[in-house]
Amino acid sequence: MREYSAPLTVDLPNSGNLTDDAVTNGVDHPEEVCLSKRTADGWADITAAEFLAEVQAVARGLMAAGVGEGDRVALLSKTRYEWTLFDYAIWFAGAVTVPIYETSSTEQIAWILSDSEATAAIVETPQHADRVAEVQNEIGRLRHVWAIEDAAVETLTSLGS
């Protein structure tokens, strides 16, 4: 077997991470619309400052619930605003996101939760929460399950305050 390599053509930064963009945009461009979310009345714009504040509030809630640095947090949801919000909040808390397809079977969910040693799960619907509950006894480290459609954002924001 032959190995080929080439020198880097760009300088890699020594510091920084993906959360820096949310902070930079929230501070430097606070009024810029960066996302939209579906509401009962249609689509609502989210500014960079609003997104940053909401991410920080949810991250504080995760930490208040005991999610710590390096912990794995499962995220079982279709693509939506809250998926992005929770993904960033998990990073802000120093944890690692474990994505799970919303169409995954109960057996697949159990395997992913167990294999990743997830300590918490954020799911989209009460039905997803029920599927996690079916296997929760098999998952030794899973301590929390929050459902987006059952006010997970509000619950964690309140817990973090």
Beta partners for residue 89, in sequence order: none
Q: Sorting pLDDT into bands at 50, 70 and 90, what band is 1?
A: confident
How far apart are alpha carbons 118 and 82 in whole angstroms? 19
Helix (H, G, I), strand (E, B) or coil at 74: strand
What domains are there in the chain, each with its CATH number?
A: 19-160 (3.40.50.980)
Residues in Cβ contact with 4 at an 8 Å cutoff, skipping those fewer than 6 apart: none
pLDDT value at 139 more than 90: no
Residues in Cβ contact with 119 at an 8 Å cutoff, skipping those fewer than 6 apart: 66, 67, 71, 72, 73, 141, 142, 143, 144
Residue 18: its pLDDT value, please? 85
Write out pLDDT tens, residues 60-109: 999 999 999 999 999 999 999 999 999 999 999 999 999 999 999 999 99
Longest dimension (CA), the chain: 60
Report, as an integer, the average pLDDT of 121-134: 95
Residue 85: its pLDDT value, please? 98
Residue 151: its pLDDT value, please? 96
> What sections of 10-100 are H helices per DSSP?
19-28, 48-64, 81-92
Write out pLDDT tens, residues 9-58: 998 888 888 899 999 999 999 999 999 999 999 999 999 999 999 999 99
| E strand or H helix at 38 | strand 33-39
How far apart are alpha carbons 50 and 71 in whole angstroms? 26
Q: Fill in the amino acid letter for 141.
A: R
DSSP string, 18-34: THHHHHHHHHHSTTSEE
Of 112 and 15, which is predicted with more confidence? 112
pTM metric for this prediction: 0.89
Residue 143: its pLDDT value, please? 93
